[in-house]
């Protein structure tokens, strides 16, 4: 496929613009890019419209992690209204080069649950992104709410996170994990402070479910394209 064909815009959904090359990524066993993850999180946000939930786009999460200006970060975070959110989901990427768009080679997920004062990192490849997730945590924790939440918020690596079975499905694990956590949050009446959504992840984020997500996201995109 030529460059112009690959760059052809095929779908605009909320603030996300998908291109024909994104369909190729979903059609084969390839690493998901920022756009596809942002599209799915935006779709998930529309499915879970609670004011308590925030799903942060990859580009925003990346900038929070790597912003060199503390004062600028405060202004940047203000529109997100983090102190008003009870559940916040951040995609984590291991790109260290702020000048390189869509760099990096691995995705993971950092989830904040205010009711338990905890940030939990879910990495499908044995904590490969631990350093990057910790950096994001340290960047955002001071802006997360009042003094009480700032002092009490903890960071946890979830060692029981379901693991990927190949070298390219990390992004699909992020989308499946985000979906499971959002569903847990909206359906759970007794949100246990110790188990949280961990049991749900073990049950619902399996290799077969993760594998099917590629087809599922592709189907969602094609359905929306047909409705344009």
pLDDT for 149: 45
Please report, rounded to a whole number, the percentage of residues in the chain having pLDDT higher than 90. Answer: 77
Range name among 11-25, 34-48, 137-151 with the lowest pLDDT average:
137-151
Asked if 200 and 183 count as a contact pair (C-beta separation under 8 A), the reply is yes
Provide the 3-class DSSP secondary structure of residue 154.
strand
Tell me the average pLDDT across 160-183.
Answer: 97
pLDDT for 228: 84
Helices 34-47 and 58-66: crossing angle in degrees, nearest 10, is 110
Average pLDDT, the chain: 91
**Residue ranges with strand state E in 49-86:** 53-55
Judge whether residue 153 has pLDDT over 80.
Answer: yes
Helices 170-187 and 207-227: crossing angle in degrees, nearest 10, is 90
Helices 70-77 and 58-66: crossing angle in degrees, nearest 10, is 150
With cut-offs at 50, 70 and 90, classify the pLDDT of residue 222.
very high
Judge whether residue 147 has pLDDT over 50.
Answer: no
DSSP 68: -
Q: What is the pTM of this model?
A: 0.93
pLDDT digits (tens, 9 = 90+) for 192-219: 566 799 999 999 999 999 999 999 999 9
Dist CA 201 CA 179 (whole Å): 10
Extents of the domains making up the chain: 5-226
Judge whether residue 225 has pLDDT over 60.
Answer: yes
Asked if 129 and 121 count as a contact pair (C-beta separation under 8 A), the reply is yes
Return the CATH superfamily for domain 5-226: Adenoviral Proteinase; Chain A (3.40.395.10)
pLDDT digits (tens, 9 = 90+) for 32-88: 999 999 999 999 999 998 999 999 999 999 999 998 887 889 888 999 999 999 999
């Amino acid at each position: 496929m030529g460059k112009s064909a690959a760059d052809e815009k095929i779908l605009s959904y909320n603030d996300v613009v998908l291109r024909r090359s994104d369909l190729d990524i979903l059609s084969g066993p390839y690493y998901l890019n920022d756009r596809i993850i942002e599209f799915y999180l935006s779709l998930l946000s529309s499915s879970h419209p609670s004011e308590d939930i925030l799903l942060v786009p990859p580009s925003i999460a990346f900038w929070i992690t790597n912003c060199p200006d503390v004062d600028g970060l405060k202004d940047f975070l203000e529109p997100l209204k983090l102190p008003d959110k009870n559940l916040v989901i951040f995609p984590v990427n291991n790109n260290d080069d702020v000048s390189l768009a869509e760099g990096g080679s691995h995705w993971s997920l950092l989830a904040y649950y205010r009711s338990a004062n905890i940030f939990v990192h879910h990495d499908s490849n044995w904590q490969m992104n631990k350093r990057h997730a910790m950096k994001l945590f340290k960047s955002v924790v001071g802006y997360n709410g009042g003094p009480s939440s700032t002092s009490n918020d903890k960071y946890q690596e979830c060692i029981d996170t379901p693991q990927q079975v190949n070298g390219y499905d990390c992004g699909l694990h992020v989308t499946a994990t985000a979906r499971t956590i959002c569903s847990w949050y909206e359906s759970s009446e007794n949100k246990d402070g110790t188990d949280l959504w961990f049991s749900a992840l073990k049950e619902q984020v399996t290799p077969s479910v993760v594998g099917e997500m590629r087809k599922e996201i592709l189907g969602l995109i094609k359905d929306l394209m047909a409705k344009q």
